[in-house]
Amino acid sequence: MASSQTEVERAIVTIVQCFFDHAGDEGKKETLSVNEFIKLSSKELPHLMKDVSLEEKMKDLDINRDNELKFNEYWRLIGELGKQIKKEIKPKK
Ligand SMILES: [Ca+2]
Ligand SMILES: [Ca+2]
């Protein structure tokens, strides 16, 4: 991708890349198993996920209950974390 990407564009690419980097570790290449989800969360999101039971969170996110997180299920987590971060960021006056 172009090197002139903005910080925000790079951030989105990083989030998407993070999913596929971990999804490819075992089993299905395009979904996260429980193990892959736990590894992703503890390695990439240690501060945001520190008070979270990862097994419970996996169940919350796994809408179709197949014990795998598809990209859209993972993206719900990103949405939740965004809302969490929003509470800590003050709007401009
Ligand atoms: Ca996988
Ligand atoms: Ca699923």
37 alpha carbon – ligand 2 mean position (Å): 12
pLDDT tens for residues 69-78? 999 999 999 9
| Predicted local distance difference test score (pLDDT) of residue 1 | 61
Q: Which residues of the chain have pLDDT under 50?
A: none
Q: Quick one: fold of 7-88?
A: Recoverin; domain 1 (1.10.238)
> Sign (positive/negative) of CA torsion 13, 60, 37, 67?
negative
83 alpha carbon – ligand 2 mean position (Å): 22
| Predicted local distance difference test score (pLDDT) of residue 93 | 81
| Predicted local distance difference test score (pLDDT) of residue 69 | 98
Task: Give the tokens for residue 11.
Answer: 């951030």
* 37 burial via Cβ count (<10 Å: 0-12, 13-18, 19+): buried
| Predicted local distance difference test score (pLDDT) of residue 85 | 95
41 alpha carbon – ligand 2 mean position (Å): 16
| Predicted local distance difference test score (pLDDT) of residue 2 | 61
| Predicted local distance difference test score (pLDDT) of residue 92 | 86
9 alpha carbon – ligand 2 mean position (Å): 27
